[in-house]
Amino acid sequence: MVDHINRITSALESARVMTLEAAAVASSKFGESSYTQYSKNISPQQLREFLNSRYSQEVKDGMNKLISALVSDDQQLDIESYFADVIKNINSEDLKVRKLICIFLLRFAERNPNLALLCVNSLQKTLSDINADIRAISVRALSDIKIDSLHPIIWLTLKKAITDSSANVRSEVAFAIIKLNRQNPEDFEEDSVLLLSSLLADSDPQVISSTIILFKECFMNNLELLHSHFRYYCEIINSLDSFAQSGLIDILNVYCKKFIHRPTITELTGDNIQNQTMVFPDHFIDIPFENYTIDYDPDLRLFLDANKKLLFSDNPLVLISVIKTHLNFCTPIDFVKNGLPLLLMRSFAISKDISVKNGLLQIVLLICNKNPKIFYPFVKKFFILRHESYLTSSIKLEILSKLADETNIKSIIREIKYYIKNFKSVSIVIKAIKVLETCSQISDIYETHILKWLINLIEVNTSNTDKALNVTPVALNYIINTVRVIIQKQPTRYFVDIVKLTTLLNHKKFNLNDNSKANIIWLIGEIAAIEFKICPDILRNLLKNFINEGYETRLQILILSAKLLSYDIDNFNKQIKEIDVNGQTSFYDFRTSRINQLFTSIIYLCKFDKSYDIRDRARWVSSLFESRKYEIATLMLQAPKPIVKDDDTLTNIKVDSDIKVYFKNIPWSEISDTSNDAENVDIREPAKLKDYSRYLKNLSSTSFMSKRNSERFVIHNTNNKADEIISTEPVTTNSSTQKTKKPYKLQSLEEFFADIPDSSAKGKPKKTIIIEESSSSDETDQDDDEDYYEDDDEEEEEEDDEDEDESSEEDDEEEGDDDNNENLVHNPSIPEIRM
Amino acid sequence: MIISIYVTDRSNSLIFQYLPDANSPTFNEFWTKIQYACPEIINTEDTLIDDSQNGDNNDNNTNENGEEYAKYIQDYNEIGHSNFNIHETIGKDLEVYKYYSKENSIYYWCLCSQDIYKGPLEPFVLLNRLDMTLLEYFDKNDLSIKKLINNSDRLSLIFYSFINGGEVNVGKLFMNNIRDNVPVKKDLSKVITSTAHTIQRSIQNVQTGGGSTRSITSNLLSGSNNTSNVSISGNGMGNNSSSGFGNSGTINNKVVPWRSGNVKYTNNEIYIDVIEEIHVVYQRRNSKRYHKINQFNRNDNSPMKLIRADIIGELNVRSYLSDNPMVEVTLVDRNYSDQKTGWSENDLFKQLNLGLPMFHDCVEIDYEKGINQDFRHIKFIPPDGKFSLMKYNIDLDNSISTTRQMGLISVEFQDGLGPKKDEFEVIVNIQNSTSLTHIKDLKVELYFREEKPLKSNSLIGITDDIPEGSRKISQVEDSKDNAYQTGSNDEAEKEEEEEEEDEEEEEEERVRVLRNTHGRFDTQTDGLSGSWIFDHETAVGSMPVLRGCTGSTQLKLSGANMTYEHGGVSASGIRVSSIDVIGLGIANNTKVFKGVKYETVSSNYELRV
């Protein structure tokens, strides 16, 4: 009986467990947390089963589990051991699983080359999938597998993929080249340059965006490749991705410095007689003229105009790049006229992210270091708000100290005083004091004012012995040091203030720190030459508490006593000389001199000092006087001291190294005028674009981008006309003069034809020449030339949409259209290619 | 090149790591390395988090000032040298960037290789973008750590879409791309919220008479989701789709990179939120005459003087429109458009001063005009879902409109009141408004400062200046051992305090409230600040008054900071006058539900005495 009951209960129990499991699985569909819980409970063995399961959901669960173990640094699961099980699923129908496998491959393929090779075949198969996204993923996944033996295959793949109709796939090629280049750049240099030139000539903004990243990463030494694309890029810059925009500007900055003539500056004088000209200096502040005009090369002008298109971008990187361009090529007037200071300030204000905010502020600081005038109108923006972070506040204060000048100093001083009195953060207060010190250097009036204010602050905080101070002790000590620095410059002027400071020395309530005390004592030693009378009394007071003072103070007391003694002896000697003209020598009476008594007692105390240094110095000082070498003592102790430059490390903000490097001036490379101008060649003659959109089945006619492109197209057109005027014989001279260019251009076009899918790859020699010519005839036939520019004729596109099924047929038709067009010289070759 | 990215919580324990390379160090390896190479970067909480006033507590009143100071200088130098510890170099060619996400309270650590052509801030901008994308993807205002852990697979996929080969995956960072690549999961909670949303909207439709062109919807569901009545083709990567790859690839209707091709909605909706933040600092004018004569006189002789002011505004759009429509938004300035007479169209434009705004990539800009754009009309093809259309910063420092009040609320102080001159009064003046009924979460923080009377002419002799108290103490000290010095100080202080207390007949120096019309008043423990906290909602047109007593003439009101929120109107007076949707695909007369919401937030409304 009992047995039965047991059996039933155990059966029920197992049923319960089963339902619970089922419920867990079911609930995993609903909530994330329960799914995570469920996922956690998958055992390693189960996981292997899941990965090999026929059911896609189980595979997915398995992959999810693996990936979450990977990203959470789970040590318990040996993730790598599942590699074989994972890559089996590379052909999974579920795109998510496939992508998760790609992420898995990123991490582990390199370590398991043999196993990884197994999935290459599957990936290659998907390269010809109808879906462009899948092709793109495959290209990406293939290039992510970092196995050397695989590279030739990948290069082949890339060569094929570069003519893909989808921009996604083509831009993936750009990224693939980056990855391959990182591994062994030498092996495939030619290939990559070939592919790059195709990518550069692409018409799709997305492909160009990726290509820019590629270029910046791998080809910064081959800037000449950009010649024929420079103008086009300047035109379309606003359609690129914002990260690419910033990258492009950076590249073109370097390019312009290398290949474009330095702008010249002409002084504008009223009478127009002797106008001085000079080349654009390395820093725009070096322009010596008041009124001037600046002449830019037309291409440089084009680039600068392109920069202006990006002023409203919401990506701070773009703004930073534009600023860089302006610092490199523009005058301060243009800098302000284009609204850059305003833009910088607004980006700073708007940005919610503190790292970006501070970066922008540091850029302001960097510009202020060279040319603070630009930011004068924004002084108030650098006033600190109560809730701002320490970082922001301290950079702001630094900027304020740079901006202070006669016109705005009053408001700055008022503001800084407020911080010192009201802010609780010691570090901010100290920085504020530092700014005040900088302000004091502007003129004597402010110096006096600030000094009085600071001393008043010290007095108020020390005299009225109340429990809470307006200013914390640390800050107060810093104030004292600042006061000392100001006074030291003109001790006579601020004699009264020195006297006030000395009262602090014996202040019982307020504990000056060692350093501050030492500072004041040192200052007394310096004024001894001016006002000797008060000094001995101060020394006497100091002596009382000598043993309780800190190291620095004790040392300074020792030195002070020596100084005073030295002065006293000198004074005595002077008086002696005046009185005894007879030549009777009388000596300074050490025994009766009060100062000597003080001195000896200090020396006595120093003998028992715990510091080696003080004992040593005491011996040294006393020996000076014992040996009666007063002249030496005078020289040593009374020498005028240079004004101490305050240590900048304490308060100077270090601009981030990244920013510094970024804004480093790029040197101009002098272009020899003869090489180009002699033969009247325009090296930046635009190249033809490669438009792959005609391979697409479907094109939206109401396309926003195509509208944008058509606008571009118009500009492009006019530009060509302009070029036409400059360079009458673009094709032939081009190839003869520009040696680097010729192979590049030919190659690219060869590529272009060779890569037309299925039907191309013939008649290379003919084409190359012919197409060069057609570039000169652009002006006339561009409107019809659909191959090279995106269509602006909408109706025609729609027709295409309806008609074609396969790209080859479409080609046929288009080519047929072209046939009617006599201007298109390359047409005859097409039928041959197609056979 | 980005080598790896780690996400940690505020106590630096790992939440997520993205390791896109066989050589990417795991978090443990990474952490060991930076602990050794640049330990400073680990503890930078104070410098990164936006609250300097509470951040540094090291000004304790120890007597060892000297040592403290030396230590302080040492710390200080370190800070100065190390670029604020958010960017460090490890070894020869590695760099680590630390990014703090305010919304999610998490840290991102980005390990990069050095690259001379890399723009500065690039990692920060990327991480910022990534952080924003995560919020948008999950459609939340902040992400809990649990949420991040639960969705680690999605996170991996999003990171994978963001970074390609260690570089920014340009052109694919737009939300539509992320959504296509990482399909949004539909779980039960989403179904519920979206149903709630539908119900609420239908109610609203009834209320507003169904889709009028301009209707102000005061509470748009913030966390609403569009899944219920929306089918986005191209996210067919769910379990059921056998092809699994969506249609976006084969039928490429994509006209702009930020918008997927075949977006279809049964209900077309577009909402614009105008959110403005006021940052303003006022200083009370010195002359006492001002607040005696012009107490409530709101003209140019206002007792407060503007130190600095700006408004930061943002136009957030949520668009659920079919196909590829073109939207045109027209903005006007309320302050001027309401006064119908005397302002021509051109004048209105001149008054609309937005500074130089930032626009989302989708906005069409007339490049010919350069910085002299016409900001009244903004034309764009909207990305699907939520995005920030425009951000602007109105600089009021240099504008002439001093008469224009900053927002609806103004604050005035008076102190030195009462028989003992130790009372103060704070008056909050809330203007009446037709567009809203109440102010949310109004709070006025008051700061006090202990102020010793400054001697008017303290340049006289030295000896006279030493106060009696300290002389007395010095005598005491001379006779005592030095070790007891501090003790004697305290005693002396106590004596003095007692004296003071006797004089003023106060138990302690503490701020007390005498009269208060609204809310409650909390005093901080240090006695130097307090907050006047209002109810959740305060009616407009009221004038709350707080009268308090500091208990001492030396303790004075030194400043205040006001925070509040309200809907209905924007602080700058910017108003959306029309939203035109052009080209809604199939049927051009499709009704579009349009909504505009205004919100004003004041977090930095600072007043100084």
Residue contact A346–B183, C-beta within 8 A: no
- Average pLDDT (A305-315) is 86
Contacts of A27 (CB under 8 A, 6+ apart): A34, A35, A38
Query: Higher pLDDT residue, A742 or B151?
Result: B151
pLDDT of residue A248: 92
Report the gap between the CA of A140 and the closest CA in chain B (Å): 8
Q: What is the pLDDT of residues A755-807, one digit of tens each?
A: 444 443 343 333 333 434 343 334 444 444 444 444 444 444 444 444 444 44
Number of Cβ atoms within 10 Å of the Cβ of B481: 8
How far is A149 from A120, CA to CA, in rounded Å?
A: 12
Q: Are A441 and A447 in contact (CB under 8 A)?
A: yes
- Smallest CA–CA distance, residue B329 to chain A, in Å, is 17
3-state secondary structure of A32: helix
**Whole-prediction pTM value?**
0.75
- The fraction of chain A above a pLDDT of 90, given in percent, is 2
Indicate the domain borders of chain A. 19-219, 415-529, 546-637, 699-834
Sign of CA dihedral A658, A659, A662, A668: negative
Q: Which helix (H) or strand (E) holds B417?
A: strand B409-417
Q: What separation, in Å, do the N-terminal and C-terminal C-alpha atoms of chain A show?
A: 91
Helices A514-527 & A473-489 angle (0-180, nearest 10): 20
Question: What percentage of chain A carries pLDDT values higher than 70?
Answer: 72
CA A232 to chain centre: 27
Of B155, B171, B358, the CB nearest to A313: B358
How far is the CA of A16 from the CAs of A10, A12, A31, in angstroms?
A: 10, 6, 22
Partners of B118 on chain A (C-beta within 8 Å) are 658, 662
Cβ-based contacts of A28 with chain B (< 8 Å)? none
**Cα–Cα distance for residue pair A439/A433, rounded to 1 Å:** 10
The whole-number pLDDT of residue A25 equals 56
Q: Rounded mean pLDDT of A436-459?
A: 82
Per-position DSSP letters for B449-468, written without gaps between them: EE-PPPPTT--S-SGGGS-H
Cβ within 8 Å, pair A93-B356: no
Structure-block tokens of residue A352: 């919610």
Q: What CA dihedral angle connects A45, A51, A54 and A57, to 10 degrees?
A: 110
Which of B61, B66, B239 is nearest residue A513 as measured by Cβ atoms? B66
Interior/surface letters B24-53, b for 16+ CB within 10 angstroms, e for the rest: bbbbeebbebbeeebebbeebebbbbbebb
| Contact present, B128 and A354 (Cβ < 8 Å) | no
Q: According to the model, what pLDDT value does residue A428 have?
A: 79
Nearest-Cα residue of chain A relative to residue B362: A239
Cβ A418–B608 below 8 Å, yes or no? yes
First CA to last CA distance, chain B: 52
CB-CB under 8 Å, B55 with A312: no
- Is residue B136 within 8 A of residue B179, CB to CB? The reply is no
Mean pLDDT to the nearest integer, A697-725: 40
Higher pLDDT, A697 or B120: B120
pLDDT tens readout for residues A576-605: 776 665 555 566 777 777 888 888 888 888
The answer to whether B157 contacts A511, with C-beta atoms less than 8 Å apart, is no
Among chain B residues, the shortest Cα distance to A344 is held by: B356
Q: d(Cα A692, Cα A696) in Å, to the nearest integer? A: 8
pLDDT over threshold 50, residue A262: yes
Residue type at position B347? D
Task: Identify all chain A residues contacting B445, using CB atoms and an 8 Å cutoff.
Answer: none
Three-state secondary structure readout of B220-248? CCCCCCCCCCEEECCCCCCCCCCCCCCCC
Mutate to test the interface with A, among B65, B79, B372, B481 (most CBs of A within 10 A): B65
Q: How far apart are CA A267 and CA A289, in angstroms?
A: 6
Cα of A732 to nearest chain B Cα, Å: 36
CA atoms A235, A239, A244, A245: torsion sign:
positive
Who has greater pLDDT, A56 or A835?
A56
- Token match 């490390």: residue? A649
Residue of B70, B87, B465 with shortest CB distance to A463: B465
With 50 as the cut, is the pLDDT of residue A338 above it?
Answer: yes
A712 Cβ partners below 8 Å, 6+ apart? A235, A236, A239
Query: What is the C-alpha to C-alpha distance for residues B41 and B52, in angstroms, rounded to an integer?
Result: 18
Per the CB < 8 Å rule, is A316 touching B125? yes
> At residue A826, does pLDDT exceed 70?
no
Which chain A positions have a beta carbon within 8 Å of B242's beta carbon? Answer: 93
Q: CA A802, A806, A812 angle in degrees (round to 5)?
A: 85
Least CA distance to B60: which residue of chain A? A472
Mutate to test the interface with A, among B90, B190, B358, B508 (most CBs of A within 10 A): B358
Q: Is the alpha carbon torsion for B491, B496, B501, B502 positive or negative?
A: positive
Would the pLDDT of A406 be above 50? yes
**CA–CA separation, A676 vs A776, rounded Å?**
19
Assess contact for B154 and A132: CB atoms under 8 A.
no
Residue of A142, A355, A453 to mutate for B, most B C-beta atoms under 10 A: A355
Which stretch, A520-534, A650-664, B376-390, has highest mean pLDDT?
B376-390
Chain B residues with beta carbon closer than 8 angstroms to that of A512: 65
- Rounded to 5 degrees, φ, ψ at B24 are -65, 130
- Of the candidates A35, A17, A13, A18, the one whose C-alpha atom is nearest the C-alpha of residue A26 is A35
List, for chain B, all residue ranges whose pLDDT scores fall below the cut of 70.
43-85, 185-198, 201-253, 285-304, 334-352, 370-372, 398-407, 450-510, 525-527, 553, 584-589
Whether the CB-CB separation of A684 and A230 falls below 8 Å is answered with yes
Give the homologous superfamily in CATH for domain A19-219: Leucine-rich Repeat Variant (1.25.10.10)
- When the pLDDT of each residue in chain A is averaged and rounded to a whole number, the result is 73
Q: Do A100 and B156 touch (CB under 8 A)?
A: yes
Given CA atoms A292, A295, A300, A305 in this order, what sign does their dihedral have? positive
Measure the CA angle with vertex A213, ends A207 and A216; round to 5°. Answer: 135
d(CA A461, CA A476): 8
ipTM over 0.85: no
A56 contacts on B by Cβ (under 8 Å): 239
Helix (H) or strand (E) holding A450: helix A444-463
What is the average per-residue pLDDT within A2-25? 66
For A473-511, the pLDDT digits (tens) are 677 777 887 888 788 777 777 777 777 777 777 666 566
Which residue from A539, A459, A473, A484 is spatially nearest to B464, judged by alpha carbons? A459
CA geometry: angle A734, A739, A745, nearest 5 deg? 65
What pairing do the DSSP bridges indicate for beta strands B377-380 and B326-333?
antiparallel
CA distance A466 to A457: 14
**Inter-chain touch A513–B164, beta carbons under 8 Å:** no
Nearest to residue A484, comparing CAs of A522, A433, A444, A443?
A522
pLDDT tens string A354-386: 888 888 888 888 888 878 888 888 888 888 887
Q: How far, in Å, CA of B362 to CA of A733, rounded?
A: 42
Cα nearest neighbour of A385 on chain B: B604
Q: How many CA atoms lie within 13 A of B588 on its CB side?
A: 3
- CB under 8 Å to A806, separation ≥6 — which residues? none
Shortest CA gap B132–chain A (Å): 11
Q: Is B296 exposed, middle or buried (CB count within 10 Å of its CB: 0-12, 13-18, 19+)?
A: exposed
Mapping DSSP onto H, E and C, the string for A575-616 reads HHHHHCCCCCCCCCCCCCCHHHHHHHHHHHHHHCCCCHHHHH
Rounded to a whole number, what is the distance in Å from the CA of B344 to chain A's nearest CA? Answer: 27
Strand B385-395 and strand B520-523: the pairing is: unpaired
Evaluate whether B24 touches B127 at the Cβ level (below 8 Å).
no
Q: For chain A, what is the radius of gyration of the CA atoms?
A: 40
Q: Look-up: residue for tokens 């001016």?
A: A530
User: Can you tell me the distance from the alpha carbon of B272 to that of B316, in angstroms, rounded to the nearest whole number?
Assistant: 6
What would you report as the CA-atom Rg of chain B, rounded to the nearest whole angstrom? 30
Report how far residue B353's alpha carbon sits from residue B344's, in angstroms, rounded to the nearest whole number.
Answer: 16
Identify which of B359, B604, B366 has the alpha carbon closest to the alpha carbon of residue A343. Answer: B359
In A, minimum Cα distance to B6 occurs at A71
In sequence order, what are the residues at sequence separation of 6 or more whose Cβ sits closer than 8 angstroms to the Cβ of residue A284? A327, A330, A331, A332, A335, A371
Q: Average pLDDT of A712-736?
A: 37
Instruction: Report CB contact under 8 Å: B450, A470.
Output: yes
Most confident option among A41-45, A807-811, B235-239:
A41-45
Closest by CA position to A388, among listed B82, B181, B510, B53: B53
Q: Please, what are the domains in chain B?
A: 2-48+71-188 (3.30.450.60), 268-338+350-404+570-608 (2.60.40.1170), 409-451+508-567 (2.60.40.1170)
Contacts with B575 (C-beta within 8 Å, 6 or more apart), sequence order? B274, B331, B332, B333, B334, B337, B598
